[in-house]
Amino acid sequence: MELIDGKEVAAALKRKMAEEVAVMERKPTLVAILVGHDGASETYVGHKEKACKEIGFNSAVLRFEDTITEDALLAEIGKLNDDPQVDGFIVQMPLPRHISEQKVIEAIDPRKDVDGFHPVNVGRMILGLPAYVSATPEGICELLRYYRIPTAGKHCVVVGRSNIVGRPMANLLSDKEFNCTATLCHSRTENLKEICASADILVAALGKAEFVTADMVKPGAVVIDVGITRVPSDKTRNGWKLLGDVKFDEVAPKCSYITPVPGGVGPMTIVSLMKNTLLAAKGTIYGK
């Protein structure tokens, strides 16, 4: 069993990007819009700023109170769309209830939508055209590439059909780069255990702590754990610990490869965002 070390891969990819950015005349610029004072959102945006700094991107955070109106927020997005200094930007979710997240996503110029949430980018990804791919599935693709995991013809089972992880993941894996046979499972799936146990590559992205047990995993399978749930713990100083969707201790011995939580998929998501920002600055997807 080999542990997939997301921290190592993330560091390697960031180093590579930093080298590329070092010789760029104009540094890529990523802006984050942060509405309100949600603790988790603050943390995520902080991590993104830190990554920008490490790689040599310019970055900025635009902060708004959670009383901002939808129209005012859409106007701010319009400004970023029009600002030639900004290569890409994100609006940190979730947003206050009075603002439509979908409207906000669709207001972002697809050429600057480095989160890959806009229908144009989703559609282009599905059609196999160049596109910004959302961070978690793209991060998992990078892990498969880095470890040169054989995927062609293999049966990949993705559990969870969310728009930002499970569904794009199944589509990417069944496309020509990876050539997997992809099965997308969800809360309504019958015989879920049996289907998981038939997977050569199992991607758990349902958000239920330790849901995947050893009997659901085929010997020699590759297991990618996207889950991250905070649970109380009396064994840690801060009183909580993070669990994945996979019961790691019993599943790991059966696998050929497995991602730990934390330190597996998690560190890759920010790297994907950085990769998209670099692509935006270079005009790789939509031209200059």
**Residues binding a copy of itself (CB under 8 A):** 102, 118-124, 126-129, 152-155, 161, 163, 167, 170-171, 174-175, 179, 181-186, 188-191, 195
Q: Which is nearer to a copy of itself, 72 or 129 (CB)?
A: 129
| 160 marked as part of a ligand binding site | yes
CB of 76 to a copy of itself, least distance (A): 23
CB of 284 to a copy of itself, least distance (A): 17
Q: Name every residue whose Cβ is closer than 8 Å to that of residue 66 and which is 6 or more positions away in sequence.
A: 35, 36, 37, 96
How many angstroms separate the Cα of 273 from the Cα of each of 6, 24, 99, 154, 189?
A: 15, 18, 24, 28, 31
Q: How many CB atoms lie within 10 A of CB 211?
A: 21
| 161 marked as part of a ligand binding site | yes
Q: Which is nearer to a copy of itself, 11 or 74 (CB)?
A: 74
Q: What is the helix (H) or strand (E) element at residue 224, kind and residue range?
A: strand 222-225
Alpha-carbon gap, residue 152 to 174, rounded angstroms: 9
| 228 marked as part of a ligand binding site | yes
The answer to whether 14 is a known catalytic residue is: no
Alpha-carbon gap, residue 213 to 125, rounded angstroms: 32
CB of 121 to a copy of itself, least distance (A): 7
Q: Look up residue 29 and give its two tokens.
A: 């610029």
The answer to whether 48 is a known catalytic residue is: yes
Cα angle 269, 1, 182 (rounded to 5 degrees) comes to 55
Q: Which is nearer to a copy of itself, 163 or 236 (CB)?
A: 163
Measure the N-to-C terminal CA separation of the chain; round to a whole number of Å. Answer: 44
- Closest to 131 measured CA to CA, from 278, 282, 288, 276: 276
Choose the catalytic residue: 115, 200, 225, 245. Answer: 115
The answer to whether 83 is a known catalytic residue is: no
CB of 186 to a copy of itself, least distance (A): 7
Choose the catalytic residue: 14, 48, 218, 275. Answer: 48
Q: How far is CA 14 from the centre of its chain?
A: 15
Q: Which is nearer to a copy of itself, 58 or 181 (CB)?
A: 181
CB of 167 to a copy of itself, least distance (A): 7
Alpha-carbon gap, residue 191 to 205, rounded angstroms: 17
| 162 marked as part of a ligand binding site | yes
Q: Which is nearer to a copy of itself, 195 or 228 (CB)?
A: 195
Choose the catalytic residue: 92, 154, 218, 247. Answer: 92
Binding site listing: 160-162, 228
Binding residues for NADP(+): 160-162, 228
| Residues acting as catalytic residues | 48, 92, 115
